[in-house]
């Protein structure tokens, strides 16, 4: 009898654990139970749909075409969600901006096989279907920068230039010195440290980890930022954004993760902290003859993607043009005309103001 009870207990425990860690199915846009499709989309070779938005000047009249890659918990269609320039700059220089919802976000179908490499393949197909030309520019902000790294590795022949804006860093990149990676990881909130470690080492458990209540959850993933987790300047920018009518609307908050947090937020974190198919610091210069340029923009007060890591990346990749805002945090690009400066440096080679290194 004892053996039978033990078997039943083990089976029940395994069943409970499986249900706890198993993510729910996504609510696919356009499906009977899913959200409606309200944006233009392209169909990719694997059958998935990618939603996009075009701004600036019309593609047919544009001198420059830039693909913008949004960051974590953002989308293609909201103010400040990607590092896009002003309409005035777009008209002055003739810029067409193409934003898109990365897989699982907004109205783009989830990709259960999503990897760092698949991100650049999505960009390549999007540019092809929208007829952006043989070459184009890419700007990736925050977590969207791993898409830009992927483009540098896998589709350098399609690029005219790339800007990495406060780029997210994987603490387990092979070329990162172990002592540097560990010291920077320990600077994060303990909730972030544990979540990122689980995402890297046990991604199959990540959904369950984000449901548990025994340990502190990641403030970065849950959006519970405070003065202890982000800089004072970032906190002010976040307060301004949260108090804006667009952000306060239910539509804004709902649409980004409307297909489920697992396929948007959680999978984004798991891909970033996965074992990449390549080492970013082994990427070769895509513009050996100076026919284009790659820029990395960092904020000295950034507590999420620390400046020490950005400096090391720039040191390892000396062909990157490195810019550092001495007073900015992770969201510095969302202030003033910073985005226009970033774009002018990329397109025209203009040097930023003296306060930038």
pLDDT tens figures, 235-292? 888 777 655 555 545 566 678 999 999 999 999 999 999 999 999 999 999 999 999 9
| pLDDT, mean of residues 33-53 | 96
Q: Please report the pLDDT score of residue 353 as a whole number.
A: 60
The pTM (predicted TM-score) of the whole model is: 0.92
Find how far residue 79's CA is from the centre of its chain.
Answer: 16
The answer to whether 107 and 316 have CB atoms below 8 angstroms apart is no
The answer to whether 312 and 176 have CB atoms below 8 angstroms apart is yes
Q: Output the CA torsion sign for 124, 148, 108, 64.
A: negative
Q: Please report the pLDDT score of residue 15 as a whole number.
A: 47
CA distance 301 to 220: 16
C-alpha distances (whole Å) from 336 to each of 63, 80, 94, 164, 207 are 25, 12, 21, 19, 38
Q: What is the CA radius of gyration of the chain?
A: 21
């Amino acid at each position: 009898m004892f053996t039978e009870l033990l078997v039943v207990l083990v089976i029940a425990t395994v069943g409970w654990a499986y249900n706890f860690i198993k993510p729910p199915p996504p609510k696919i846009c356009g499906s009977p139970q899913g959200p409606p499709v309200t944006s233009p989309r392209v169909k990719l070779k694997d059958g998935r749909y990618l939603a996009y938005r075009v701004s600036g000047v019309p593609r047919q009249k544009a001198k420059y075409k830039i693909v913008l890659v949004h960051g974590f918990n953002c989308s293609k269609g909201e103010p400040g969600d990607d590092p896009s320039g002003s309409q005035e700059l777009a008209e002055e220089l003739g810029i067409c901006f193409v934003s898109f919802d990365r897989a699982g976000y907004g109205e783009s179908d989830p990709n259960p096989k999503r990897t760092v490499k698949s991100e650049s393949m999505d960009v390549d197909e999007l540019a092809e279907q929208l007829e952006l030309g043989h070459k184009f520019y890419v700007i990736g902000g925050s977590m969207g920068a791993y898409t830009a790294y992927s483009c540098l590795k896998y589709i350098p022949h399609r690029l005219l230039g790339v800007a990495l804006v406060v780029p997210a860093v994987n603490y387990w990149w092979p070329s990162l010195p172990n002592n540097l990676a560990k010291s920077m990881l320990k600077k994060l909130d303990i909730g972030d440290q544990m979540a990122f470690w689980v995402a890297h080492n046990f991604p199959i458990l990540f959904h369950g980890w984000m449901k548990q209540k025994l340990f502190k959850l990641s403030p970065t993933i849950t959006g519970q930022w405070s003065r202890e987790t982000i800089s004072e300047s970032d906190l002010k920018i976040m307060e301004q954004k949260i108090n804006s009518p667009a952000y306060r609307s239910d539509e804004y908050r709902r649409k980004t993760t409307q297909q489920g947090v697992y396929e948007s937020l959680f999978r984004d974190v798991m891909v970033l902290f996965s074992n990449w198919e390549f080492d970013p610091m082994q990427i070769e210069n895509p513009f050996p003859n100076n026919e284009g340029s790659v820029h990395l923009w960092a904020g000295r007060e950034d507590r999420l993607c620390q400046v020490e890591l950005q400096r090391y990346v720039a040191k390892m990749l000396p062909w990157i043009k490195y810019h550092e805002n001495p007073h900015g945090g992770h969201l510095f690009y969302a202030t003033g005309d910073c985005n226009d400066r970033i774009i002018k440096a990329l397109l025209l080679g203009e040097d930023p103001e003296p306060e930038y290194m």
